[in-house]
Homo-oligomer: A and B are copies of this chain.
Protein backbone atom coordinates (compact mmCIF):
# COMPACT_ATOMS: atom_id res chain seq x y z
CA UNK A 1 0.00 0.00 0.00
CA UNK A 2 1.27 3.44 -0.82
CA UNK A 3 -0.11 6.75 0.34
CA UNK A 4 0.87 10.29 -0.50
CA UNK A 5 1.71 12.02 2.73
CA UNK A 6 1.98 15.69 3.42
CA UNK A 7 3.85 16.90 6.47
CA UNK A 8 5.34 19.99 8.03
CA UNK A 9 9.10 20.26 8.43
CA UNK A 10 11.56 22.95 9.42
CA UNK A 11 13.85 24.20 6.65
CA UNK A 12 16.75 24.65 9.01
CA UNK A 13 17.30 25.04 12.74
CA UNK A 14 15.49 27.94 14.35
CA UNK A 15 17.20 30.16 16.89
CA UNK A 16 14.87 32.87 18.02
CA UNK A 17 11.17 33.38 17.41
CA UNK A 18 9.78 31.08 14.69
CA UNK A 19 8.55 32.58 11.40
CA UNK A 20 6.47 31.19 8.53
CA UNK A 21 9.55 31.01 6.32
CA UNK A 22 11.17 28.59 8.78
CA UNK A 23 8.68 25.90 7.78
CA UNK A 24 7.73 24.02 4.67
CA UNK A 25 4.93 21.70 3.66
CA UNK A 26 6.47 18.60 2.17
CA UNK A 27 5.02 15.73 0.20
CA UNK A 28 6.30 12.19 0.22
CA UNK A 29 5.18 8.80 -0.97
CA UNK A 30 4.77 6.58 2.07
CA UNK A 31 5.21 2.93 1.38
CA UNK A 32 3.14 1.15 3.94
CA UNK A 33 3.38 -2.45 4.99
CA UNK A 34 0.64 -3.98 7.01
CA UNK A 35 2.06 -7.46 7.00
CA UNK A 36 1.79 -9.18 10.37
CA UNK A 37 5.12 -9.06 12.15
CA UNK A 38 6.28 -5.76 10.66
CA UNK A 39 4.84 -4.18 13.80
CA UNK A 40 4.31 -0.81 12.15
CA UNK A 41 1.10 1.11 12.60
CA UNK A 42 0.02 3.66 10.01
CA UNK A 43 -2.10 6.41 11.50
CA UNK A 44 -4.13 9.03 9.71
CA UNK A 45 -4.00 12.20 11.79
CA UNK A 46 -7.21 13.74 13.05
CA UNK A 47 -5.94 16.25 15.63
CA UNK A 48 -2.38 17.26 16.52
CA UNK A 49 -1.20 19.16 19.53
CA UNK A 50 0.70 22.43 19.07
CA UNK A 51 3.04 22.96 22.01
CA UNK A 52 5.66 25.61 22.84
CA UNK A 53 8.29 23.05 23.89
CA UNK A 54 8.73 22.02 20.25
CA UNK A 55 10.76 25.21 19.72
CA UNK A 56 13.50 23.77 21.93
CA UNK A 57 13.72 20.79 19.61
CA UNK A 58 14.03 23.05 16.57
CA UNK A 59 17.10 24.87 17.85
CA UNK A 60 20.57 23.92 16.73
CA UNK A 61 21.34 23.36 20.35
CA UNK A 62 19.22 23.40 23.46
CA UNK A 63 20.13 21.80 26.74
CA UNK A 64 16.63 20.32 26.69
CA UNK A 65 17.59 18.10 23.76
CA UNK A 66 20.03 16.11 25.81
CA UNK A 67 17.96 15.71 28.89
CA UNK A 68 14.55 14.54 27.90
CA UNK A 69 13.25 11.89 25.56
CA UNK A 70 10.45 14.34 24.75
CA UNK A 71 12.82 16.97 23.50
CA UNK A 72 15.27 15.32 21.13
CA UNK A 73 16.46 17.52 18.29
CA UNK A 74 14.32 17.79 15.16
CA UNK A 75 16.10 17.29 11.85
CA UNK A 76 15.36 19.84 9.11
CA UNK A 77 13.32 18.28 6.33
CA UNK A 78 12.11 15.41 8.51
CA UNK A 79 8.64 14.87 9.97
CA UNK A 80 8.11 16.38 13.44
CA UNK A 81 6.63 14.04 15.98
CA UNK A 82 3.89 15.43 18.16
CA UNK A 83 1.10 14.24 20.37
CA UNK A 84 -2.19 13.70 18.60
CA UNK A 85 -5.22 11.60 17.89
CA UNK A 86 -5.81 9.63 14.73
CA UNK A 87 -7.22 6.52 13.15
CA UNK A 88 -5.31 3.44 12.12
CA UNK A 89 -5.30 2.94 8.36
CA UNK A 90 -3.00 -0.07 8.30
CA UNK A 91 -1.33 -2.17 10.94
CA UNK A 92 1.14 -5.02 11.10
CA UNK A 93 1.07 -4.76 14.89
CA UNK A 94 -1.09 -7.29 16.76
CA UNK A 95 -2.25 -4.60 19.20
CA UNK A 96 -3.83 -2.35 16.57
CA UNK A 97 -6.36 -2.88 13.80
CA UNK A 98 -7.53 -0.82 10.88
CA UNK A 99 -9.98 1.88 11.98
CA UNK A 100 -8.86 1.82 15.63
CA UNK A 101 -8.88 5.25 17.18
CA UNK A 102 -5.48 5.95 18.72
CA UNK A 103 -3.75 8.65 20.76
CA UNK A 104 -0.03 9.13 21.12
CA UNK A 105 3.08 10.29 19.39
CA UNK A 106 2.21 10.80 15.73
CA UNK A 107 3.40 13.80 13.69
CA UNK A 108 2.60 17.18 12.18
CA UNK A 109 1.54 15.35 9.03
CA UNK A 110 -1.44 13.69 7.42
CA UNK A 111 -0.06 10.24 8.06
CA UNK A 112 2.45 8.78 10.46
CA UNK A 113 4.13 5.43 10.51
CA UNK A 114 4.48 4.53 14.15
CA UNK A 115 7.22 1.93 14.36
CA UNK A 116 6.29 -0.88 16.68
CA UNK A 117 3.24 1.07 17.82
CA UNK A 118 5.64 2.85 20.13
CA UNK A 119 4.05 5.49 22.39
CA UNK A 120 0.66 4.85 20.83
CA UNK A 121 -2.47 3.75 22.65
CA UNK A 122 -5.89 2.65 21.52
CA UNK A 123 -8.34 5.37 22.40
CA UNK A 124 -11.79 5.05 23.86
CA UNK A 125 -13.29 8.49 23.38
CA UNK A 126 -15.73 7.77 26.23
CA UNK A 127 -18.18 10.06 24.56
CA UNK A 128 -15.95 13.11 24.69
CA UNK A 129 -14.92 15.06 21.61
CA UNK A 130 -11.67 13.64 20.24
CA UNK A 131 -9.94 16.99 20.67
CA UNK A 132 -10.34 16.63 24.45
CA UNK A 133 -7.97 13.69 24.28
CA UNK A 134 -5.31 15.96 22.80
CA UNK A 135 -5.69 18.67 25.44
CA UNK A 136 -7.57 18.44 28.68
CA UNK A 137 -7.42 14.63 28.80
CA UNK A 138 -3.92 14.51 27.31
CA UNK A 139 -0.57 15.85 28.42
CA UNK A 140 -1.81 19.40 28.97
CA UNK A 141 -4.31 18.11 31.49
CA UNK A 142 -1.83 15.78 33.16
CA UNK A 143 0.74 18.58 33.38
CA UNK A 144 -1.76 20.85 35.08
CA UNK A 145 -3.16 18.18 37.39
CA UNK A 146 0.10 16.50 38.36
CA UNK A 147 1.98 19.79 38.51
CA UNK A 148 -0.55 21.34 40.80
CA UNK A 149 -1.40 18.45 43.09
CA UNK A 150 1.88 16.56 43.15
CA UNK A 151 4.56 19.23 42.66
CA UNK A 152 2.82 22.11 44.44
CA UNK A 153 1.30 20.04 47.23
CA UNK A 154 -1.50 22.55 47.87
CA UNK A 155 -3.57 23.12 50.98
CA UNK A 156 -7.10 24.44 50.87
CA UNK A 157 -7.23 28.20 51.16
CA UNK A 158 -3.72 28.75 49.86
CA UNK A 159 -3.07 31.62 47.47
CA UNK A 160 -2.16 30.48 43.98
CA UNK A 161 -0.72 32.52 41.13
CA UNK A 162 -0.77 31.16 37.57
CA UNK A 163 1.05 32.79 34.66
CA UNK A 164 0.01 32.26 31.04
CA UNK A 165 -3.27 31.48 32.73
CA UNK A 166 -5.35 31.28 29.59
CA UNK A 167 -2.90 28.85 28.00
CA UNK A 168 -3.35 25.13 27.61
CA UNK A 169 -1.93 24.23 31.02
CA UNK A 170 -2.50 27.45 32.95
CA UNK A 171 -6.26 27.56 32.47
CA UNK A 172 -6.55 24.05 33.88
CA UNK A 173 -4.22 24.72 36.82
CA UNK A 174 -6.45 27.63 37.79
CA UNK A 175 -9.60 25.58 37.49
CA UNK A 176 -8.20 22.63 39.46
CA UNK A 177 -6.96 25.03 42.13
CA UNK A 178 -10.37 26.70 42.42
CA UNK A 179 -12.17 23.36 42.60
CA UNK A 180 -9.72 22.31 45.31
CA UNK A 181 -10.47 25.41 47.38
CA UNK A 182 -7.58 27.78 46.73
CA UNK A 183 -7.62 31.49 46.02
CA UNK A 184 -6.46 31.88 42.42
CA UNK A 185 -5.17 34.83 40.42
CA UNK A 186 -4.01 34.46 36.84
CA UNK A 187 -2.21 36.69 34.42
CA UNK A 188 -2.57 36.78 30.66
CA UNK A 189 -1.71 39.04 27.76
CA UNK A 190 -5.02 40.65 26.79
CA UNK A 191 -8.17 42.06 28.32
CA UNK A 192 -10.22 39.43 26.53
CA UNK A 193 -8.21 36.67 28.15
CA UNK A 194 -8.50 38.34 31.55
CA UNK A 195 -12.27 38.41 31.19
CA UNK A 196 -12.31 34.76 30.21
CA UNK A 197 -10.37 33.85 33.36
CA UNK A 198 -12.65 35.79 35.65
CA UNK A 199 -15.99 35.25 34.00
CA UNK A 200 -15.85 31.79 32.50
CA UNK A 201 -13.15 29.96 34.41
CA UNK A 202 -13.92 31.21 37.90
CA UNK A 203 -10.53 32.70 38.76
CA UNK A 204 -10.82 34.98 41.78
CA UNK A 205 -8.96 37.67 39.91
CA UNK A 206 -6.79 38.17 36.84
CA UNK A 207 -4.70 40.87 35.20
CA UNK A 208 -3.15 41.75 31.87
CA UNK A 209 0.60 41.71 32.42
CA UNK A 210 1.16 43.87 29.35
CA UNK A 211 -0.53 46.75 31.13
CA UNK A 212 1.74 46.50 34.18
CA UNK A 213 5.07 48.24 34.51
CA UNK A 214 6.28 46.84 37.81
CA UNK A 215 5.34 43.21 38.24
CA UNK A 216 6.50 43.06 41.85
CA UNK A 217 4.07 45.82 42.81
CA UNK A 218 1.37 44.27 40.68
CA UNK A 219 1.63 40.97 42.50
CA UNK A 220 1.72 42.75 45.83
CA UNK A 221 -1.56 44.38 44.89
CA UNK A 222 -3.20 41.11 43.89
CA UNK A 223 -1.71 39.15 46.79
CA UNK A 224 -1.61 41.45 49.82
CA UNK A 225 -1.17 38.33 51.96
CA UNK A 226 1.48 36.82 49.70
CA UNK A 227 1.63 33.91 47.26
CA UNK A 228 1.84 30.33 48.51
CA UNK A 229 2.05 28.62 45.13
CA UNK A 230 3.26 29.93 41.81
CA UNK A 231 2.62 27.81 38.76
CA UNK A 232 5.14 29.15 36.29
CA UNK A 233 4.70 28.85 32.57
CA UNK A 234 6.77 31.83 31.53
CA UNK A 235 9.94 32.36 33.61
CA UNK A 236 11.97 35.60 33.50
CA UNK A 237 10.67 38.72 35.31
CA UNK A 238 7.42 37.04 36.29
CA UNK A 239 9.27 34.36 38.23
CA UNK A 240 11.37 37.02 39.96
CA UNK A 241 8.29 39.01 40.91
CA UNK A 242 6.51 35.91 42.19
CA UNK A 243 9.47 34.87 44.37
CA UNK A 244 9.62 38.41 45.78
CA UNK A 245 5.96 38.10 46.78
CA UNK A 246 6.01 34.57 48.11
CA UNK A 247 5.16 33.50 51.61
CA UNK A 248 7.39 31.26 53.64
CA UNK A 249 7.35 27.64 52.48
CA UNK A 250 6.22 28.85 49.05
CA UNK A 251 6.39 26.47 46.11
CA UNK A 252 7.10 27.23 42.48
CA UNK A 253 6.27 24.59 39.88
CA UNK A 254 7.90 25.28 36.53
CA UNK A 255 6.63 23.30 33.57
CA UNK A 256 7.86 25.68 30.92
CA UNK A 257 9.39 29.12 30.48
CA UNK A 258 7.94 30.26 27.18
CA UNK A 259 9.33 33.79 27.48
CA UNK A 260 12.86 32.38 27.63
CA UNK A 261 12.54 29.90 24.76
CA UNK A 262 12.94 32.38 21.95
CA UNK A 263 15.28 34.81 23.69
CA UNK A 264 18.41 33.30 25.15
CA UNK A 265 19.21 36.56 26.93
CA UNK A 266 16.01 36.43 28.92
CA UNK A 267 16.64 34.86 32.27
CA UNK A 268 15.01 34.71 35.66
CA UNK A 269 17.26 35.89 38.46
CA UNK A 270 15.10 35.36 41.54
CA UNK A 271 16.47 36.79 44.77
CA UNK A 272 18.13 33.79 46.40
CA UNK A 273 18.02 35.54 49.77
CA UNK A 274 14.25 35.21 49.46
CA UNK A 275 14.58 31.60 48.37
CA UNK A 276 16.64 30.78 51.47
CA UNK A 277 14.79 32.73 54.13
CA UNK A 278 11.35 31.92 52.81
CA UNK A 279 12.42 28.29 52.31
CA UNK A 280 11.08 28.38 48.77
CA UNK A 281 11.11 25.31 46.56
CA UNK A 282 11.52 25.86 42.81
CA UNK A 283 10.79 22.65 41.01
CA UNK A 284 11.04 21.95 37.31
CA UNK A 285 8.98 19.04 36.04
CA UNK A 286 7.63 17.30 32.96
CA UNK A 287 4.33 15.51 32.70
CA UNK A 288 6.12 12.39 31.48
CA UNK A 289 7.34 11.86 35.04
CA UNK A 290 3.82 11.95 36.43
CA UNK A 291 2.36 8.98 34.56
CA UNK A 292 1.71 7.27 37.90
CA UNK A 293 -0.96 9.93 38.49
CA UNK A 294 -2.63 9.31 35.15
CA UNK A 295 -5.50 7.10 36.36
CA UNK A 296 -6.33 9.49 39.16
CA UNK A 297 -6.06 12.49 36.83
CA UNK A 298 -8.23 10.86 34.20
CA UNK A 299 -11.05 9.80 36.48
CA UNK A 300 -11.14 13.12 38.34
CA UNK A 301 -11.09 15.14 35.15
CA UNK A 302 -13.70 13.10 33.30
CA UNK A 303 -15.94 13.43 36.37
CA UNK A 304 -15.47 17.20 36.33
CA UNK A 305 -16.26 17.25 32.63
CA UNK A 306 -19.42 15.19 33.02
CA UNK A 307 -20.68 17.33 35.87
CA UNK A 308 -19.77 20.56 34.08
CA UNK A 309 -17.40 21.68 36.80
CA UNK A 310 -14.48 22.26 34.47
CA UNK A 311 -14.51 24.30 31.27
CA UNK A 312 -12.69 23.22 28.15
CA UNK A 313 -10.89 26.03 26.39
CA UNK A 314 -9.69 24.96 22.98
CA UNK A 315 -8.29 26.95 20.10
CA UNK A 316 -8.57 24.79 16.98
CA UNK A 317 -7.17 25.66 13.56
CA UNK A 318 -8.08 23.64 10.50
CA UNK A 319 -5.76 22.16 7.93
CA UNK A 320 -2.21 20.88 8.09
CA UNK A 321 -0.96 23.94 6.24
CA UNK A 322 -1.94 26.03 9.26
CA UNK A 323 0.32 24.18 11.69
CA UNK A 324 3.17 26.71 11.30
CA UNK A 325 0.97 29.74 11.95
CA UNK A 326 -0.67 27.97 14.88
CA UNK A 327 2.76 27.21 16.32
CA UNK A 328 4.14 30.70 15.68
CA UNK A 329 1.05 32.16 17.33
CA UNK A 330 1.91 30.44 20.63
CA UNK A 331 4.87 32.78 21.03
CA UNK A 332 2.77 35.86 20.28
CA UNK A 333 0.00 34.92 22.69
CA UNK A 334 -2.47 34.33 19.86
CA UNK A 335 -3.98 31.19 21.30
CA UNK A 336 -6.67 31.07 23.93
CA UNK A 337 -6.59 27.71 25.65
CA UNK A 338 -5.24 24.54 24.14
CA UNK A 339 -3.90 25.02 20.63
CA UNK A 340 -4.80 22.15 18.33
CA UNK A 341 -4.85 21.69 14.57
CA UNK A 342 -7.50 19.52 12.98
CA UNK A 343 -5.71 17.93 10.08
CA UNK A 344 -8.55 16.04 8.39
CA UNK A 345 -12.23 16.75 8.03
CA UNK A 346 -13.06 13.07 7.73
CA UNK A 347 -13.99 12.83 11.41
CA UNK A 348 -15.90 15.04 13.77
Contacts and interface: CB of A to CB of B under 8 A. Distances in A.
A13 interface: no
Contact of A284 (B268, B276, B286, B289): B276
A281 B280 CA distance: 10
Contacts of A280: 283-284
B276 A62 contact: no
Given A267-B269, A269-B267, A269-B268, A64 B276 contact: yes
A293 interface: no
A38 interface: no
Interface string A232-269: 00010001000010001000001111001100000111
A183 B67 CA distance: 22
Contacts of A278: 63, 67-68, 284
Contacts of A283: 279-282
Contacts of A285: 276, 279
Chain A residues touching B, range: 35 or more
A277 interface: yes
A273 interface: yes
A64 B272 CA distance: 10
Contact of A271 (B71, B256, B267, B272): B267
Given A67-B278, A279-B289, A284 B267 contact: no
Contact of A275 (B261, B277, B284): B284
Contact of A63 (B267, B274, B281): B274
A124 to B, nearest CB: 30
A277 B72 CA distance: 11
Contacts of A257: 272-273, 276
Given A257-B272, A272-B235, A282 B281 contact: yes
A273 B286 contact: no
A56 interface: yes
Nearest to A282: B282
A233 B112 CA distance: 50
Contact of A254 (B248, B256, B276, B286): B276
Interface of A: 56, 62-64, 67-68, 71, 235, 239, 244, 248, 254-257, 260-261, 267-286, 289
Given A268-B272, A279-B284, 10 more contacts: A235-B272, A254-B275, A254-B276, A257-B272, A257-B273, A267-B270, A267-B271, A269-B269, A274-B284, A275-B284
